[in-house]
């Protein structure tokens, strides 16, 4: 049976922008989901499109084991990781413990934040992401050609299926992915592609002290093999889960992802005795 992308049915709350924030186009948003008061807060950082809309299948999979807070990335101007990290940090909770989940492009952002050891961070969850230049070997030579002209139009449906969603992806998911990319300004997409290709976060991951879960997709056709091995070498205490599906594993396997995240958040920290 093919998956359908459920509609976003969560009430979006738009908090005030932090003092000194001159970006009037992108804001942190939270999702008011009934019954979340007794569950841990989890900040979600989106993938390459940065909108947060692609979390809809995950957030629609009730019951959630966490209280979701989505931080959409700014799209008003090109920014690299050095600029995005402080932008995101300014929007993290400062009054309650929280887990941090990052998908794909946002993985290096979350890793750097966790490496800085913010006081309220309790867990790090990395999904279909990377430490170093992410592309498959056969795609790598085309990376430098990924300029604004390439991103002027959304990728064709067959490319979305081949690299992101899987050949058997539902047409609704393919359309959602293409729409998300169409809304991303070409100059911003170019900057994000350049940032991803230049990533090298192994040293940052090695400094992470909170419990960490790395979820990889078994049929990821976008990311090159080897990212999990690099992550294991950098952070041997991390936990790893492999789920059957393509790069968009959160969208294609929301139930399995939710269950893996729930078990991880509920399990004792490696530094804590069982039952504490």
Furthest C-alpha separation in the chain: 56
- 3-state SS class at 260: helix
Q: Which residue has the tokens 């999702």?
A: 31
pLDDT along the chain (276 residues), means of 10: 40 38 49 61 97 95 91 96 97 96 98 96 97 68 62 89 95 96 94 92 97 97 88 96 97 96 84 35
Instruction: Summarize pLDDT for 202-219 with one digit per residue, the tens.
Output: 999 999 999 999 999 999
Spatial separation of the C-alpha atoms in residues 267 and 199, rounded to whole Å: 31
Residue 29: predicted pLDDT: 56
- Give, as one character, the DSSP assignment of residue 209: -
Instruction: Summarize pLDDT for 55-107 with one digit per residue, the tens.
Output: 999 999 878 999 999 999 999 999 999 999 999 999 999 999 999 999 999 99
Spatial separation of the C-alpha atoms in residues 178 and 233, rounded to whole Å: 35
Supply the pTM of this predicted model: 0.84
Residue 153: predicted pLDDT: 86
Tell me the H-state helices in 55-161: 56-59, 81-89, 107-115, 157-160
- 3-state SS class at 252: helix
Spatial separation of the C-alpha atoms in residues 82 and 140, rounded to whole Å: 22
Cross-strand partners of 240:
214
Residue 136: predicted pLDDT: 56
Catalogue all structural domains in the chain, each as residue range(s) with its CATH number: 11-266 (3.40.50.1820)
Cross-strand partners of 31:
12
Q: Do residues 176 and 53 make contact, with C-beta atoms less than 8 angstroms apart?
A: yes
Residue 147: predicted pLDDT: 62
Residue 135: predicted pLDDT: 65
């Amino acid at each position: 049976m093919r998956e359908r992308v459920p509609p976003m049915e969560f009430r979006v709350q738009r908090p005030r922008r932090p003092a000194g924030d001159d970006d009037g186009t992108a804001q942190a948003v939270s999702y008011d989901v009934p019954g979340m008061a007794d569950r841990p807060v989890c900040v979600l950082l989106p993938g390459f499109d940065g909108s947060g809309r692609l979390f809809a299948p995950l957030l629609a999979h009730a019951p959630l084991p966490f209280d979701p807070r989505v931080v959409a990335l700014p799209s008003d101007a090109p920014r690299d990781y050095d600029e995005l990290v402080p932008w995101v940090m300014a929007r993290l909770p400062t009054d309650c413990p929280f887990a941090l989940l990052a998908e794909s492009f946002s993985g290096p952002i979350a890793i750097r934040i966790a490496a800085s050891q913010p006081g309220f961070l309790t867990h790090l969850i990395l999904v279909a992401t990377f430490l170093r230049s992410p592309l498959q070997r056969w795609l790598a030579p085309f990376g430098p050609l990924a300029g604004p002209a390439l991103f002027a139009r959304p990728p064709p449906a067959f490319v979305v299926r081949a690299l992101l969603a899987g050949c058997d992806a539902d047409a609704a998911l393919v359309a959602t992915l293409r729409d998300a990319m169409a809304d991303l300004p070409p100059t911003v997409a170019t900057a994000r592609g350049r940032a991803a290709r230049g990533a090298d976060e192994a040293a940052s991951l090695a400094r992470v002290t909170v419990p960490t879960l790395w979820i990889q997709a078994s049929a990821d056709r976008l990311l090159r093999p080897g990212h999990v091995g690099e992550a294991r070498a950098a952070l041997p205490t991390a936990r790893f889960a492999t789920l059957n599906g393509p790069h968009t594993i959160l969208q294609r396997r929301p139930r399995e992802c939710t269950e893996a995240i729930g078990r991880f958040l509920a399990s004792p920290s490696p530094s804590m005795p069982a039952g504490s």
